[in-house]
Amino acid sequence: MTDKTLTAALISGGKMAMKVTAIGGVGLLLYILITNQKVVYLPQALIGITIVSVFMGGIKGGMSAGTQGWLHGFMVALMYIIISTIIRFFLFPESNFDQVSLILACPILAVGSIGGVAGINARFLRRKKRFVAKIY
């Protein structure tokens, strides 16, 4: 693992995670506005969006790194947690990083690692498919 591969994985995976988060947030907002529901389970929906976005970011980071997908996916998830915590402290200064936040961070880091491994495998399968297509 070099600094170049880590930087490439963090940038590409981080951009993907933030894009998926923005799309999921806008989709959730549109769902709330269109259905006009009085009861919305917002924390569960936001956790779902976070997990999907970190998984997609891990996949993208693993694909761009090429090796050690678990580590690159983990780093993408860690960067996501740090950025979202900084944004949360700016928006809600009275919030703190407590035990619940730490318990929530563990599955997010695990999902990022799994996404990185999936990204390595997706890259390998795509390369293998091109190789098989050249033979025939």
Number of domains in the chain: 1
Which is more confidently placed, 97 or 33? 33
Two structure tokens written together for 44: 């569960």
Alpha-carbon gap, residue 72 to 80, rounded angstroms: 12
pTM score: 0.81
Of the pLDDT bands very low, low, confident and very high (cuts 50, 70, 90), residue 5 is confident
Give yes or no for residue 58 having a pLDDT over 60: yes
Domain hosting residue 77, numbered range:
3-135
pLDDT in the model for residue 22: 92
